Amino acid sequence: MREVAVIGIGQTKVDEHWDKSIRILAGEAALEALKDAGREFADAIYVGNMLSGVSSHQQHLGSLLADWIGLRYSEAVKVESACGSGGAAFRSAVTAVASGVVESALAVGVEKMTDSPGPEVTAALATAADADYEAGQGLSFVAINALIMRRYIYEYGWKHSDFADFSINAHANGVHNPFARFQDPVSESDYQRAPMIADPINLLDASPMGDGAAAALVVPLETIHPNGATVIQVAGSGSATDTIAVHSRKDPLWLSAAEKSVRQAYQQAGVGPDDIDVFELHDAFSIMAALSLEACGFAERGQGPRLALDGQILPAGRVPIATRGGLKARGHPVGATGMYQIVEVVQQLRGEAGGTQVPDARIGMAQNIGGSGSNIVTHILVRVR
Amino acid sequence: MREVAVIGIGQTKVDEHWDKSIRILAGEAALEALKDAGREFADAIYVGNMLSGVSSHQQHLGSLLADWIGLRYSEAVKVESACGSGGAAFRSAVTAVASGVVESALAVGVEKMTDSPGPEVTAALATAADADYEAGQGLSFVAINALIMRRYIYEYGWKHSDFADFSINAHANGVHNPFARFQDPVSESDYQRAPMIADPINLLDASPMGDGAAAALVVPLETIHPNGATVIQVAGSGSATDTIAVHSRKDPLWLSAAEKSVRQAYQQAGVGPDDIDVFELHDAFSIMAALSLEACGFAERGQGPRLALDGQILPAGRVPIATRGGLKARGHPVGATGMYQIVEVVQQLRGEAGGTQVPDARIGMAQNIGGSGSNIVTHILVRVR
């Protein structure tokens, strides 16, 4: 396989974009990525999206987007893996270019959620879980995560307030990201006073939904002219599944799919946890940030919150996470999130992360989770010059 | 890239499977394909599906299926390209194995349509078209195809009855396929008396919806032991898009995406139309069969119906199509259809097509269309020993 690189990125603000249809949102990010790369064309388009059939009465997003941005003969498909759709689309783009099937591929994540009433969105998000044995029993997606967090607190002896720093860090970083949905800091007392959603998950443990799109252009590394610009190689890519229902797992507090997918990515890139300068993880709920840090080798089992309490997740810490706000503050337009993570890692490696730049970041990782840990895609990006 | 082959196939009957959920249907086909291959494992699963989020309140089919069939750590995603989802999933599987990303991949197409009331299915199918500029104006999917057929009849001077043989051939072949939804022949007079759906498309011009699943296991050609069994290589694969809305095309009577995708597949396989022994095309409506034959080089522009009138599409003809019933008689469970086509081509090349076996078929082609020609995937399979 050929080595591949990201040479263009684009994103829209995560927001309530009531004035923009799904094709317009996706088109803005895609065209921005092409412009950033100085290209006008891509051979293939992989669109990560979860909910368009329900929320926009539109499937077939691949063809829709190819047509809309003027690439009407390019190959194009939609890739769906619930909240992990963006990362899955990026992996498809990387595979297609690495294999030689195409010479360039746009990966685009897009989601439009805020046009629909809240209960409809809650029902739609539950389609990420097991429809017959979880959602069908009345378990919403946040409720599943609440059960995991409750068990985690019980097993490992944490207090709810020990999770506050995940939220505080994400919001503090979002202040510096003009594309973030929330750009205001939150305090320890804000966290403690936040309304409960599904005990023990409160409003500041949970990421907000939103409308948004993010995109990246992938090409073979060997075709990039040495013109002095920074080059970001996709050095590792891993993907794995776990049971779709949490109750089927031997250990509901361990992300086996994260462990397997990150092992593939580490191995391919020839690096380990100590080498990662920045880690955009899937903090849909603060408990997921803790579990992801553990499965990827940054903390012992049950000790994820310790990294937050010790300030190790801050931009100047040992493993900076959610550096552009994360799902918590940048927002979580579900099928788009995985592509926001890629865009943000590229910003860090290029040194374009502004007020939350990780000093001299050279190796970055992005991990996107579909469902409650049932589909996990991990990518490692490296600045090679 | 490595050469790849199909070593196992599986399918369910296309029917009203009210007693089987989507995971059960998909699982039956997938396990059958593994069993047929003598394997118990696949590194990756690509599920082609269009409507599960609406019809089964279930997204995340990749994880769902991997879990259900006991491959819970395998990579797994859903690939969506409207009615072309099955072919797109097969292409993803072929690319993943050819590139070396995985050593084996299951491609599975599945759709469950008959649990929902008719008007809901009609609305859901319209999400394959342009939601804002076609469906939003009241154009159902069959209405779009009716406008194309009307224009074709006007431009090229055909009569409606000239299309009868597409339907008659498909139903005659379906008689011999135990997996076909319809296993009864239809006559010329049945065709002429069939109720009108969207003038000029009548009931026997249109394929029936249904529930069903079909699957194939793809592995590197070099890993197959020379044990005497027939080996079916995937020799060519092409994919291209056109505008999503038919009214945006310079010529609404020409399938540009079919032309482009078949050219890629011919070139890669080193063959041309004269070499194709069997062609499973996308006869969702009889007009689409005609347009597909033209775009793939089997008939002059506007002359597709001539092949049917002259008996050239029969199993003993020059270009046998719909040899197992096609979309028209085997049925069209939309996201599964592309995988049924692959399974049926493999049956022909293995000599397992029973009463409609094409004599000594060695090279077969499958073409799957998403929307009204806006996303077209073509595969060429060759019996290599």
What pLDDT band is residue B38 in, cutting at 50, 70 and 90?
very high
Question: What number is the ipTM of this complex?
Answer: 0.97
Catalytic residues of B: 83, 332
3-state secondary structure B146-211: HHHHHHHHHHHCCCHHHHHHHHHHHHHHHCCCCCCCCCCCCCHHHHHHCCEEECCEECCCECCCCE
Q: Quote the percentage of chain A above a pLDDT of 90.
A: 96
DSSP strand pairing (A363-370 vs B44-48) = unpaired
pLDDT (0 to 100) of residue B340: 98
Cβ contact (<8 Å) for A53 and B58? no
DSSP secondary structure string for all residues of B309-360: HTTTTSTTSSS-BSTT-HHHHT---GGGHHHHHHHHHHHHHHT--GGGPPTT
Through-space distance between the first and last CA atoms of chain A, rounded to whole angstroms: 21
pLDDT (0 to 100) of residue A226: 75
| Residue A86 forms contact with B (CB below 8 Å) | no
**What's the rounded mean pLDDT across residues A31-58?**
96
* A73: three-class secondary structure by DSSP: coil
pLDDT tens per residue across span B325-366: 999 999 999 999 999 999 999 999 999 999 999 999 999 999
**What's the rounded mean pLDDT across residues A94-98?**
97
* Contacts of the segment B194-199: beta carbons below 8 A, 24+ positions apart: B197/B142, B197/B146, B198/B140, B198/B142, B198/B143, B198/B145, B198/B146, B199/B146, B199/B150
Residues B43 and B55: their CA atoms lie apart, in Å, by 28
CA A112: distance to chain centroid? 16
Higher pLDDT, A118 or B46: B46
Among candidate residues A17, A83, A160, A296, the one labeled active-site is A83
Cβ contact (<8 Å) for A127 and B60? yes
Cβ contact (<8 Å) for B374 and A63? yes
Which residues of chain B lie closer than 8 angstroms to A128, CB-CB?
A: 59-60
What pLDDT band is residue B236 in, cutting at 50, 70 and 90?
very high
pLDDT (0 to 100) of residue A367: 98
Per-residue pLDDT at B226 exceeds 80: no
Angle at CA of residue B322, ends B319 and B326, nearest 5°: 160
State both tokens at B190. Answer: 């049945």
- Name every residue whose Cβ is closer than 8 Å to that of residue B274 and which is 6 or more positions away in sequence: none
| Residue B50 forms contact with A (CB below 8 Å) | yes
Cβ contact (<8 Å) for A127 and B59? yes
pLDDT (0 to 100) of residue A225: 83
pLDDT tens per residue across span A238-283: 999 999 999 999 999 999 999 999 999 999 999 999 999 999 999 9
| Residue B131 forms contact with A (CB below 8 Å) | yes
Angle at CA of residue B122, ends B117 and B207, nearest 5°: 100
Higher pLDDT, B314 or B72: B314
pLDDT (0 to 100) of residue B344: 98
Lowest-confidence region among B5-9, B110-114, B118-122, B150-154:
B118-122
- Smallest Cβ–Cβ distance between A62 and the set B57, B81, B130 belongs to B81
| Residue A100 forms contact with B (CB below 8 Å) | yes
State both tokens at A104. Answer: 């360039």
A350, with CB counted inside 10 A (0-12, 13-18, 19+), is middle
Which residues of chain B lie closer than 8 angstroms to A51, CB-CB?
A: 53, 59
Q: Quote the percentage of chain A above a pLDDT of 70.
A: 100
DSSP strand pairing (A75-80 vs B75-80) = antiparallel
Nearest alpha-carbon partner for A334 in B22, B59, B55, B64: B59
- Name every residue whose Cβ is closer than 8 Å to that of residue B122 and which is 6 or more positions away in sequence: B140, B141
Higher pLDDT, B88 or B227: B88
DSSP secondary structure string for all residues of A248-289: GSS-TTS-HHHHHHHHHHHHHHT--GGG-SEEE---SBHHHH
pLDDT tens per residue across span B174-184: 999 999 999 99
Enumerate residues 241 to 270 of chain B having a beta carbon within 8 A of any beta carbon in chain A. 241-245, 248, 256-257, 260
Per-residue pLDDT at A228 exceeds 80: no
Angle at CA of residue A86, ends A82 and A92, nearest 5°: 110
- Closest residue of B to A97, CA-based? B99
- Closest residue of B to A54, CA-based? B54
pLDDT (0 to 100) of residue B57: 94
Ramachandran region, residue B382 (left: φ > 0; alpha: ψ -120 to 50; beta: rest): beta
Q: What number of C-beta contacts closer than 8 Å exist between A and B?
A: 200
Which residues of chain B lie closer than 8 angstroms to A65, CB-CB?
A: none
Residues A100 and A105: their CA atoms lie apart, in Å, by 11
On whether the CB atoms of residues B25 and B65 are closer than 8 A, the answer is: no
What pLDDT band is residue B207 in, cutting at 50, 70 and 90?
very high
Cβ contact (<8 Å) for A127 and B53? yes
State yes or no: cis peptide before A200, omega within 30 of 0: yes
Torsion of CA B164, B170, B171, B174, to 10 degrees: 180
| Residue A67 forms contact with B (CB below 8 Å) | yes
Mean pLDDT, chain A, as a whole number?
97
Instruction: Say if pTM beats, i.e. exceeds, 0.95.
Output: yes
Say whether A379 is catalytic: no
pLDDT (0 to 100) of residue B336: 98
pLDDT tens per residue across span B265-303: 999 999 999 999 999 999 999 999 999 999 999 999 999
Please report, as a single letter, which amino acid is at residue A331. Answer: G
What pLDDT band is residue B72 in, cutting at 50, 70 and 90?
confident
List Cα–Cα distances, A256 to A242, A288, B60, B109, in angstroms.
Answer: 7, 13, 17, 27
Per-residue pLDDT at A142 exceeds 90: yes
* B217: three-class secondary structure by DSSP: strand
Cβ contact (<8 Å) for B256 and A50? no
Residues B140 and B166: their CA atoms lie apart, in Å, by 23
- Name every residue whose Cβ is closer than 8 Å to that of residue A359 and which is 6 or more positions away in sequence: A316
Residues A107 and A216: their CA atoms lie apart, in Å, by 5
